[in-house]
Amino acid sequence: MMRMNGVAWRALVAPLLATAATAAFAAPQGVALVPPNGARFLENQRFDIRVEGYGQGAYSASLKVNGQDVQFTSGEQGTTTTDGVSAVEKDASGAVTRTWGGFNARGFSFSRPGKYKLEATFKDATGETSTASTIEIVDVDPGTGHGRKGTLAKNVVILVGDGMGVAHRTAARLVRHGVTGGDPDGYLAMDKFPGTGLVTTHSLNSIVTDSAPGMACYATGSHANNGQEGVYPAHMANPFYYPRVEYMAEYLHRVKGTSLGIVTSADIEDATPAANAVHTGNRNSGTGICDQYLDESDWQATGRSGTGLAVLLGGGRNWFKAATGEQYSRRATSTDYAALPADLLAGWDLPASAAGALDADRDLVGDFQKAGFAYVDSSHDLQNTMSGHGPDRLLGLFGWGNMNVALDKISARRGLDADVVNAYHAPDQPMLDEMADAALKVLSKNEKGFVLMIEGAHIDKQSHLMDVDRAIGETIELDRAVAVARKWADKLGDTVVVVLADHECSGFSLMGALANKQSSSNPTNTGGIDALKTAAAADLAPAKVVGTYDAAGFPRYDFTKYDDGYPATYDIDKKLLVGFGASGDRNETWLTKATPVIDSLLPTAVKTELKAASYVSEPYQRDAGKGWVIGGQATQQDQAVHTATDIPVSAYSSGSDVWRRFVGVQRNTDVFFKLMKATLEREDSRRD
Ligand SMILES: [Zn+2]
């Protein structure tokens, strides 16, 4: 019913050519209209419209699109309860301080490209406030400034090095291949992609984004507020009720029947993976996020809505096991949702079963299996399940919180030291390239194509923790997955692969190499890395170990001892030294840290075990009493923070030259439109 409304007025309303200014009159407070001014959508891409505010007495509202009246799908006029799901704010004593009213128009889309002006009024007992925004509908047709009319890309692979800036890539290349006489001795797989550009990273409410809007802007074409994914900001009783914008996976599943794969080394609930499939105003709602992966996957294969999720690989088993009876479960009603509004379900063609329930005791692994997913929880299991044809749908949960980083996984695989992975209760985890290969094998069974997002999550997490060697190891791990994606793109044809980051993290900077500065004033520094291992704190001062300019020379890591693609050790003479422009206060001993900082998403019981085993919770607690203590950093944080700098994009495509479109400087939301246009370009444009 509600969609009929949208369809009917979509036909009536013509695109607007000029942008008009918004006007506001005092009375109700906090009046806001979303989508916000400047939002862009692809033709036929779905989104919700909402006007909200607060004040006194009963609320009412109106909405016009290009001057034509539009009916809301929820929000009862002349009431204080309006849509029944707007926020009621209370103070510490429980007294109501603010009652929001809200009116929604769910699941709209426009088929005609151009600009549209949305005008809304919001009224309370004291008066009326007007607000407006102008949005743009973007044509999928090629030939609008993006070069020749291209061939279709059937498959999209997005690799995200979370927090990966230019310097992370340079560091990984330096460590992996070395430099001789001024030239790199080799290049990363991502370096070899033909299309390289720069991408802005800002979110809807800040120059510095977090991963939720950072990823969501690639997957929706719209900016979101920090901490939010697949939604516009709102004041509502549950973050899962917020006004939605359609994901790439949802759009392509609905119009083409594609599948979605999500692969990450993070906890599956984390912002980057969730920002491909889950609509929530709170990135920390793990229970609801993991429920929505399945409940809006369209596992029933109706093709009418949902993401087409067929592969979900990562950590985060704690969200999939019932709260009762599983000591490591983190499922809780406080991070869940129930009763998605009826007009939301109708506007997005979702089945009644997608409404959700407060079900901390849900056996989500069991429900995935009932929906046709094979379930694996170790590398060994994954290998077995993938032998032969492999399953049609695959769920792999390889850790309780985030998975371990490459450095610790590799140490265990080499039979050297499995203490860390054992301490994390995840002794047998796959590497990211192995997960990517499995995902591509499963997804390639869908002849209608797929969207696959592969995240190297710990580039960010270890940069936050200022753990240089673990961050570089993660970048190498991601690059090995990039190589796998390129190999599959060549095999499948008509596949576009982009390597992105959601933002840079830590102001990672390559300042030089470990220097052996033996001198009369520094007599204990006698032997490079070995001397450093037993050096007194005073001898670790930057002036005594940091070699800049020619003192840095050419670090060379040993890749010959093992054939797994990772260095024998990071603690070499002249090891690469990294500074953190956005650092927190910390100790620095320059050597590889024996243990990681405790993963914040682990079950509490495991964290307690790790603390008892001398793992620390914050980087400044490392190597107490030894090393270099920075005081009073500008960020005033325990950890390093994200930065506002542009990130590099590298693009590759088989069967077309879609990669060319990513050359240059672009807005982060442009990435969505470029990928979607490549995927939707009409058959007839191929014949030109
Ligand atoms: Zn981060």
520 pLDDT band (50/70/90 cuts)? low
Residue-wise pLDDT for 635-673, tens only, equals: 777 889 999 999 999 999 999 899 999 999 999 999 999
Q: Which of 564, 478, 556, 490 is nearest to 190 (CA)?
A: 478
β pairing state of 642-643 and 546-547: unpaired
Torsional class of 15: left (φ above 0), alpha (ψ -120 to 50), beta (otherwise): beta
**3-state class of 163 per DSSP?**
coil
Whether 547 shows a pLDDT value over 80: the answer reads yes
Whether 73 shows a pLDDT value over 80: the answer reads yes
Whether 250 shows a pLDDT value over 60: the answer reads yes
Q: What percent of the chain has pLDDT over 70?
A: 91
Give the residue, 683 or 377, on which the prediction is more confident: 377
Least confident segment among 6-10, 200-204, 318-322: 6-10
Q: What's the gap in Å between 20 CA and the centre of ligand 1?
A: 37
Residue-wise pLDDT for 295-305, tens only, equals: 999 999 999 99
Q: What's the gap in Å between 130 CA and the centre of ligand 1?
A: 37
The predicted pLDDT at position 573 comes to: 87
Q: What's the gap in Å between 2 CA and the centre of ligand 1?
A: 39
Q: What's the gap in Å between 640 CA and the centre of ligand 1?
A: 9
Helix residue spans in 301-359 (DSSP H) = 342-347
Q: What's the gap in Å between 306 CA and the centre of ligand 1?
A: 28
Q: What's the gap in Å between 464 CA and the centre of ligand 1?
A: 6
Q: How far apart are CA 187 and CA 181, in angstroms?
A: 15
Q: Model's pTM, two decimal places?
A: 0.93
Q: What's the gap in Å between 161 CA and the centre of ligand 1?
A: 11
Average pLDDT over residues 457-467: 96
Q: What's the gap in Å between 598 CA and the centre of ligand 1?
A: 15
The predicted pLDDT at position 151 comes to: 47
β pairing state of 259-267 and 450-456: parallel
Question: Strands (DSSP E) along 59-172, which ranges?
Answer: 60-65, 68-69, 88-90, 96-108, 114-124, 127-138, 155-161
Least confident segment among 127-141, 386-400, 437-451, 578-592: 578-592
Q: What's the gap in Å between 165 CA and the centre of ligand 1?
A: 12
Average pLDDT over residues 83-92: 96
688 pLDDT band (50/70/90 cuts)? very low
Question: What is the torsion angle, in degrees rounded to the nearest 10, for the CA atoms of residue 652, residue 654, residue 655 and residue 660?
Answer: 0
Q: How many alpha carbons lie under 13 Å from residue 152 in its C-beta half-sphere?
A: 15
Q: What's the gap in Å between 80 CA and the centre of ligand 1?
A: 39
Q: What's the gap in Å between 271 CA and the centre of ligand 1?
A: 10
435 pLDDT band (50/70/90 cuts)? very high
Residue-wise pLDDT for 331-374, tens only, equals: 999 999 999 999 999 999 999 999 999 999 999 999 999 999 99
The predicted pLDDT at position 230 comes to: 98
Q: What's the gap in Å between 42 CA and the centre of ligand 1?
A: 29
Q: What's the gap in Å between 257 CA and the centre of ligand 1?
A: 33
Q: What's the gap in Å between 391 CA and the centre of ligand 1?
A: 33
Q: What's the gap in Å between 16 CA and the centre of ligand 1?
A: 39
Sign, CA dihedral 200-202-207-209, equals: negative
Q: What's the gap in Å between 502 CA and the centre of ligand 1?
A: 9
Sign, CA dihedral 416-460-477-184, equals: negative
152 pLDDT band (50/70/90 cuts)? confident
Q: What's the gap in Å between 266 CA and the centre of ligand 1?
A: 11
Q: What's the gap in Å between 220 CA and the centre of ligand 1?
A: 20
Q: What's the gap in Å between 672 CA and the centre of ligand 1?
A: 21
527 pLDDT band (50/70/90 cuts)? low
Average pLDDT over residues 54-69: 96
The predicted pLDDT at position 532 comes to: 78
Q: How far apart are CA 289 and CA 269, in angstroms?
A: 6
**3-state class of 664 per DSSP?**
strand
Average pLDDT over residues 240-256: 97
**3-state class of 250 per DSSP?**
helix
Q: What's the gap in Å between 455 CA and the centre of ligand 1?
A: 13
Q: What's the gap in Å between 586 CA and the centre of ligand 1?
A: 17
Q: What's the gap in Å between 459 CA and the centre of ligand 1?
A: 9
Average pLDDT over residues 135-154: 67
Listed in sequence order, the residues at least 6 apart from 429 whose beta carbon sits closer than 8 Å to its beta carbon are 378, 379, 398, 399, 403, 404, 409, 421
Q: How far apart are CA 675 and CA 251, in angstroms?
A: 12
Torsional class of 89: left (φ above 0), alpha (ψ -120 to 50), beta (otherwise): beta
Q: What's the gap in Å between 200 CA and the centre of ligand 1?
A: 16
Q: What's the gap in Å between 504 CA and the centre of ligand 1?
A: 8
Size (the chain), residues: 688
Q: What's the gap in Å between 289 CA and the centre of ligand 1?
A: 19
Whether 491 shows a pLDDT value over 90: the answer reads yes
Token pair recorded at residue 53: 């505010």
The predicted pLDDT at position 521 comes to: 59
Q: What's the gap in Å between 402 CA and the centre of ligand 1?
A: 13
**Which domains does the chain carry?**
2-138 (2.60.40.10), 196-506+643-665 (3.40.720.10), 508-630 (no CATH)
Residue-wise pLDDT for 594-633, tens only, equals: 999 999 899 999 999 999 999 999 888 888 777 666 655 5
Average pLDDT over residues 150-154: 70
Give the residue, 522 or 587, on which the prediction is more confident: 587
Q: What percent of the chain has pLDDT over 90?
A: 81
2 pLDDT band (50/70/90 cuts)? very low
Q: What's the gap in Å between 644 CA and the centre of ligand 1?
A: 12
Whether 590 shows a pLDDT value over 50: the answer reads yes
Whether 531 shows a pLDDT value over 80: the answer reads no
Token pair recorded at residue 284: 């920390």
